[in-house]
Structure formats: C-alpha cells, structure tokens
Amino acid sequence: MMRNANKTLGQRLTLVLQKQAVKTQQNLSLILIGFFMSLLGIGLVMGGEFLVYNLLHRELLALAGVIIIAIGCVLALVGYLSMSLLKIFYVITKDDEQPKK
C-alpha cells in the first residue's frame, strides 16, 4: 500500500489500465455479457410490442428493454475497448525492465 502512495495519479492510472489490458478473459466476458443483454433488451421490446395488449404495460416493457439494450451496449463497448485500445496502450507504456528488488 505504501508503494502506491508515492506514485502520481497518472502513474496509478497507467498501472490500472495496464492491469485491465492483460485481463483478456474478463474483457471477453464483458463483450459477451453486453451482447446477450442487448439481445434480451431487443426481445423485451419485440415481445412487448406483439404479446402485451395494455398500452401502458407495453410502453413500460419497451422502456425497460431500451434501458437493458443501452447497458448492454456500454458493457460491450468497455470490453471491446479494453481488448483493443488498452492492449495497444499496454504495449506502448509497459516497462521492458523488471524492477530490481
């Protein structure tokens, strides 16, 4: 804990982004969860349109579907950016030397 206290905000942010860049499985999981959440939201919108007869319930179901689609898109975008741009950032900013103990 004391090691991070001496680092600037930029250095700590760089470390966090580098650690996230190498978590390929977690980033892929974010993409897949976002994709399936978007499909669920589309299903809610379509199901509400064709299966619900009450107008208020139909609109509420469509609103919930749109919110789920938006959350899914954000998750997929974060996962995609972590897999692509952060990997490039990691290659550019990583230290080639191992720290001496």
Query: 31-86, pLDDT tens digit by residue?
Result: 999 999 999 999 999 999 999 999 999 999 999 999 999 999 999 999 999 888 88
**Number of folded domains that form the chain:** 1
Domain carrying residue 33 = 25-93
The Cα-based distances of 36 to 64, 70, 71, 76 in angstroms read 15, 12, 11, 9
Q: Is residue 6 part of a domain?
A: no
Does position 2 have pLDDT exceeding 60, yes or no? no
- pTM of the shown model: 0.77
Work out the burial of residue 80: count CB atoms within 10 Å of its CB; fewer than 13 is exposed, 13-18 middle, 19 or more buried.
middle
pLDDT band at 20 (very low <50, low <70, confident <90, very high): confident
Q: Is residue 15 part of a domain?
A: no
Q: Is residue 3 part of a domain?
A: no
What is the reported pLDDT for 46? 96
Q: Is residue 64 part of a domain?
A: yes
What is the reported pLDDT for 70? 98
